[in-house]
Structure 1
Amino acid sequence: MNFERINEIAQTLFQQVLASVTELGFYLQLLAVVLTLGLAWALSAKIKHAVDVRLQSVTRNQSWLAQPLEVVKGLLLPVLALMSLGLLHAALQQSGLDYEVVKIAFSLLLIITLFIVIHQYVNHVFVAAMLKWVMMPTAALYLLGWLDQTVVFLESLAFQVGDIKLSVYAVIRLLVFGSILFWLGRISNRYGQQIIRNKQNLDVRSREVFAKLFEISLFLVIFLLLLNAVGINLTALAVFGGALGVGIGFGLQQIASNFISGLIILLDKSMAIGNYIELEDGKAGVLKKLNMRSSSLQTYDGKMIVVPNERFITSAFTNWTHDDPRQRYTLQFSVAYDSDIPAIPELILNAVKQHPQVLLEPELPDCEIVEFADSGVVFQLEYWIEGIDDGRNRVGSDLLMIIWKTLHDNDIAIPFPQREVRILKDE
């Protein structure tokens, strides 16, 4: 960086300020500014008093007036001060007198007013930060007539990175434009994907494919616009693309594999958002997100399992709700041998059919004998429900309770293991 240039500019500015404060016109302008601000303050005090009186007389039906009047009170003084200084500036300019002090005071007051407005009335964090730290300094430099000189100065503060020369101005422009572009990109991506997912004429999987392609295309366009905004020649991307290909071949092959696997999953329709997926290792959950690198399965106990997309391509998994959300489950129970065995299936089926989540199609519930065990007769209940019999949709526990109550009400015993011990006497 050119530190001698910085020192020269600082000394020049100091000499200009020193020369200004020794002239009589400086103090006359300063006095005019103070009197003008005092007049604005007195006028705003009277108007605020009138507004307070009006607020006290606001009825319940006129309550909508309260907030606008409070806003008027908060901005009254800075607005009147700006108007007064603006009139003073115009009068001095028309008369041919010096007005530099008035101009500086007007610019500073305008910046303070904008800061108050942004701080109190702009709630979005990113927008407020951009207005405070980018737009306000730029507006101040423009009003003071220093914007062009500042740009030239920042361009002169440059440093060399290999064969590329970067200036402080280029870095600032990159950060500002990059932040704005990616903020707009996130908003556009959110609303664009929402519009795509609301297209009911497309199936769920097609909507996810188009939403993902829209996201990739949008951020690719933003990246190219950002490179163009900072003055990078896009033809240089051919060399960069070749280097990126080599990098993917060696160090980024796993990331590239997961990215391509994600596109394959969306295109081959093997699973979609909302499907219940069970992996080979027994982990299972509802597919909540399908990102470019990984997919997220949410378990019924609130945990989120992050699975690399490649795993769904290279290993087996079970999609419980791929084509039909209805699932068939079985439950087993035992009764004692001295029970009325032929009557038990009808008793159990009549009770089970009363459960609101048990389906009567594609098949009716079925109860049949599966085994004559050591301690009792084993029955198996088969039933269909919509969804997975787990979590909030836990039906199996309800049916076990229904089976127990039905057997208990009909005096049917549930056997438990019994052993007969014989003691042989010694002859």
Structure 2
Amino acid sequence: MDNPPDIVVKALDYAGQARAIGLSWATSPAAWSQFALLAVAWLLSLVIARRFGPRLSRLIGPKDGARGSIAAARRFALRFLPLLLPLLAYGLTAVGEAITRSLVGSGAVIAFGKRVFLLLAARSFARDILRDPFLRLLGRYVLIPVAALYALGLLAPVMAWLEAQTVELGNIRFSLAALIRGLIAGRLLFWLGSWSNRQSADYIKAQEELRPATRELAVKAAEVVIFGAAFLLLLNIMGIDLTTVAVLGGALGVGIGLGLQQIAANFISGIILLVEGQTTVGDYVELDGGEKGTIVRMTARACVLETFDGKWIAVPNEHFITTRVVNYSDQGSANRYEVPFSVSYDTDINKVPGIITAAVEALPFILKAPDGPDVELKGFGESGIDFAVEYWVSGIDDGRNKYASEVLFTIWNVLKAEGIDIPYPHRVVELRGGLPA
């Protein structure tokens, strides 16, 4: 091939060097002795791992059914036992290399074997220890290839070639190696950030002495700090000058000024809601627009309401600041409700308040504080005399709670038991001039 690419020329050059090294090792008694030392190190490591591996497993592993942080740490350490064999071989080979170099002044073969054992350790780590799908993918397609290049002695030339290839985006310039490092490190950092964010959120939400609004604010602050630090660290790993980010910040400011006002307003409104704490997770709210439900999530953009029929409504945070919001507090707070009823005009209405009050007060969900049941005369209707009973309960009269229904059942039963009629609509028709023939 005339004028082959540089990478082909370098590959042929490395292949020639590998062939020459292989021939020299095949004809050298010193290389044979080093191969023998590698075999001995591997066999000795195999015997030690098989003999002491089960004992080490019993020593490290926790007892059956043990729980707690110590038991979890011991189970985590137990996962690294597959590394025992290759790491033992690596350590014994390192000792053999030191002895060989002191005796014959050469240890290229045994150094190569040591790198191969390190490759086997990387393969075992990616295959047997990593359990997270992303980490297994990273180990399979990044860790093992890098360990293979290191074992063959090609890692430094490959990295030098990648560093020589540059990518330019405006005034930002970085190498291909930096781009690959950034992709790998970025995915790893944001995976680690997501894991850290989940752990910190669980820890903060477990602090029951803090107000719910304070917990939500702390969770959001921790999320911003974690991912902000991950982003800055990623830029540093890629070798991008942080001063060039000022251009991006200016563009972002223009975008917020022109088209992202609502997003910025909702974000700031969300911070205000969390700081003030007047509306928080668990509150049952009703907005001017008709949306009502229990707040189950508060995000940077919106509050998520869950209605009693299972629907989720995302309400922008700005609506909680600029419109009227009725907050029934959480579902365990005291709320007052009113149930109307009527009796016939033949009833002694002086007996009605006492009868109904006693019956409603006997219901298990009726509260005596801040006030007990109260029966009021509302007026004289067309078909009967109108009353209403007011009562306090702990919760919202909707969804799983059917307070009004049980109160109405009680009113019906007690009125029937007392012989009091509940009127139905009726009319008196007067005919003038007599009946037609």
2:308 match: secondary structure: coil
Looking at structure 1, the residues matched to 273 and 309 of structure 2 have their Cα atoms a distance apart, in angstroms, of: 26
Q: Which amino acid aligns with 2:10?
A: I
Looking at structure 1, the residues matched to 21 and 157 of structure 2 have their Cα atoms a distance apart, in angstroms, of: 20
Which residue in 1 is equivalent to 2:12? 11
Q: Which amino acid aligns with 1:356?
A: P
Q: Which amino acid aligns with 1:291?
A: T
Which residue in 2 is equivalent to 1:426? 436
Distance change >3 Å, CA 192–CA 342, structure 1 → 2: same
Looking at structure 1, the residues matched to 337 and 377 of structure 2 have their Cα atoms a distance apart, in angstroms, of: 16
Confirm whether residue 228 of structure 1 aligns to residue 229 of structure 2.
no
The offset of 1:144, in angstroms, is: 4.9
User: Which stretch has the larger CA shift, 96-105 or 289-298?
Assistant: 96-105
Pick from 167, 170, 187: which aligns with 2:178? 170
Looking at structure 1, the residues matched to 64 and 336 of structure 2 have their Cα atoms a distance apart, in angstroms, of: 62
Pick from 239, 244, 259: which aligns with 1:251? 259
Distance change >3 Å, CA 289–CA 51, structure 1 → 2: closer
Confirm whether residue 288 of structure 1 aligns to residue 296 of structure 2.
yes
User: Which stretch has the larger CA shift, 131-140 or 359-368?
Assistant: 131-140
Looking at structure 2, the residues matched to 418 and 325 of structure 1 have their Cα atoms a distance apart, in angstroms, of: 42
Distance change >3 Å, CA 358–CA 202, structure 1 → 2: same
Looking at structure 2, the residues matched to 163 and 196 of structure 1 have their Cα atoms a distance apart, in angstroms, of: 42
The offset of 1:195, in angstroms, is: 5.7
Distance change >3 Å, CA 35–CA 148, structure 1 → 2: closer
The offset of 1:299, in angstroms, is: 1.8
1:296 match: secondary structure: strand
Looking at structure 2, the residues matched to 75 and 225 of structure 1 have their Cα atoms a distance apart, in angstroms, of: 30
1:289–1:296 CA contact under 8 A, matched in 2 = yes
Spell out, residue by residue over 1:54-103, the C-alpha distance to the aligned partner (whole angstroms, 9 max, x if none): 99xxxxx9999xx99x9899667656655665566555544438655554
Looking at structure 1, the residues matched to 187 and 150 of structure 2 have their Cα atoms a distance apart, in angstroms, of: 22
Looking at structure 2, the residues matched to 84 and 391 of structure 1 have their Cα atoms a distance apart, in angstroms, of: 70
Which residue in 2 is equivalent to 1:58? none
Mapping 1:291-370, distance limit 5 Å: 291-321=299-329, 325-370=333-378
- Which residues of structure 1 form unaligned runs of 5+? 56-60
The offset of 1:284, in angstroms, is: 0.8
Confirm whether residue 274 of structure 1 aligns to residue 272 of structure 2.
no
Mapping 1:33-72, distance limit 5 Å: 36=40, 39=43, 43=47, 47=51
1:307 match: secondary structure: strand
Spell out, residue by residue over 1:269-305, the C-alpha distance to the aligned partner (whole angstroms, 9 max, x if none): 4422222111223221112222211111122233221
Distance change >3 Å, CA 358–CA 108, structure 1 → 2: farther
The offset of 1:421, in angstroms, is: 7.1
Confirm whether residue 179 of structure 1 aligns to residue 187 of structure 2.
yes
Using structure 2 for the length normalisation, give the TM-score.
0.77
2:174–2:240 CA contact under 8 A, matched in 1 = no
1:29–1:102 CA contact under 8 A, matched in 2 = no
Looking at structure 2, the residues matched to 392 and 222 of structure 1 have their Cα atoms a distance apart, in angstroms, of: 44
Aligned length: 414
Mapping 1:130-169, distance limit 5 Å: 130-142=138-150, 144-169=152-177
2:414 match: secondary structure: helix
Q: Which amino acid aligns with 1:293?
A: R
Looking at structure 2, the residues matched to 162 and 95 of structure 1 have their Cα atoms a distance apart, in angstroms, of: 57
Looking at structure 2, the residues matched to 42 and 200 of structure 1 have their Cα atoms a distance apart, in angstroms, of: 52
Spell out, residue by residue over 1:134-193, the C-alpha distance to the aligned partner (whole angstroms, 9 max, x if none): 445445545554433232121123233344333221112222332343344344444555
Pick from 218, 239, 243: which aligns with 2:247? 239
Q: Which amino acid aligns with 2:279?
A: M
2:353 match: secondary structure: helix
1:370 match: secondary structure: strand
Pick from 376, 382, 385: which aligns with 2:384? 376
Looking at structure 2, the residues matched to 215 and 326 of structure 1 have their Cα atoms a distance apart, in angstroms, of: 35
Q: Which amino acid aligns with 1:308?
A: P
Q: Which amino acid aligns with 1:150?
A: V
Looking at structure 2, the residues matched to 131 and 408 of structure 1 have their Cα atoms a distance apart, in angstroms, of: 77
Distance change >3 Å, CA 17–CA 147, structure 1 → 2: closer
Looking at structure 2, the residues matched to 145 and 253 of structure 1 have their Cα atoms a distance apart, in angstroms, of: 55
Which residue in 2 is equivalent to 1:401? 409
Distance change >3 Å, CA 80–CA 269, structure 1 → 2: closer
1:392 match: secondary structure: coil
Using structure 1 for the length normalisation, give the TM-score.
0.78
Percentage of matched positions with identical amino acids: 36
User: Which stretch has the larger CA shift, 265-274 or 296-305?
Assistant: 265-274
Looking at structure 2, the residues matched to 47 and 346 of structure 1 have their Cα atoms a distance apart, in angstroms, of: 87
Distance change >3 Å, CA 147–CA 18, structure 1 → 2: closer
